[in-house]
Chain A
């Protein structure tokens, strides 16, 4: 299998919940997995992310999508990026970002990141 592959990393049930929401609106997601930091130390969290990357993303364009930069989830993602295990880390993941992840065509990594982040930013808003 080729193409994009991603692991959503979040606090509590954030990652699982976001993936559930994406599945509800867009159907089963064969290229995305979820990991929680709950009950896991930093090493355990990194190990679980790596396990999923190795199992599902070998040879593919792998990305990490974290709910927040700076927390334990974001830190684990940054360490794996520094080790060259993924193409990029996207922080502040929301449902619109996951929709883009699922539906954008295959693009070079930098273009994909730019387009996906811009579209998810535009999805934030308030009325009135």
Chain B
């Protein structure tokens, strides 16, 4: 298993990922799974500005990810896999991508969302997905940076 981190963070590639996590875990590849970004060269170029030397980035649609991720996971190239929302990551897990733990790094405020941590706000769909993922054996933990304690999100969703 060469994927060091499966992370849900609406900011995708940003400071916590390229400084906090990448300096600690040393990935050589960052794979962003997003149907929107896969077809948006301008946004890709903006995200690429934050990628340190020695790390390459791929922007895959969900369809591409379903086809390509198994090989990436089996390769010896350490990688991060990022999605902007729990739904996308959950669909990857449902489609057979081997995920033991999902790191939730940032889901911010929005209509219908309830704040459970300063950097995590969940809506009813998120809560349902977390329960389904946990039932399927996938741990879902919030942890913005490696020096923070991991917080299991199951059971915290409903206050």
Does chain A have a CB within 8 A of B51?
yes
Within 8 A of A (CB), among B10-60: 10-11, 13-15, 18-19, 42, 46-47, 49-51
Pick the interface stretch among A23-31, A35-43, A95-103, A117-125: A35-43
Q: Let me know if A71 and B50 touch, CB within 8 A.
A: yes
Contacts A41-B11, A42-B10, A42-B11 given; does A69 touch B108 at CB 8 Å: no
User: A39-B119, A69-B50, A70-B49 are contacts. A75–B108 as well, Cβ < 8 Å?
Assistant: no
Query: Please, which residues of chain B bring their CB within 8 A of the CB of A78?
Result: 46, 49
Whether A75 and B10, one on each chain, are in contact in the complex, defined by CB atoms closer than 8 angstroms, is no
- Evaluate whether A75 and B106 lie within 8 angstroms (CB atoms) in the complex, with A39-B119, A42-B10 already known: no
Bound-complex Cα distance A98 to B19 (A) = 25
Q: Is B109 an interface residue (CB 8 A)?
A: yes
Contact-size category for B: 20 to 34
A69-B118 Cα distance, complex, nearest whole Å: 24
Total residues of chain A contacting the partner, CB 8 A: 17
A94 interface residue per 8 A CB criterion: no
Q: Is A116 an interface residue (CB 8 A)?
A: no
Across the two chains, which residue of chain A brings its CB closest to B17?
A: A71
Across-interface contacts of A69 in B (CB, < 8 A): 49-50
The chain A residues found within 8 Å of chain B, CB to CB, are 11, 39-42, 44, 68-75, 78-79, 82
Per CB-CB distance, the 5 closest pairs between chain A and chain B, nearest first, are A70-B50, A41-B108, A71-B15, A72-B14, A70-B49
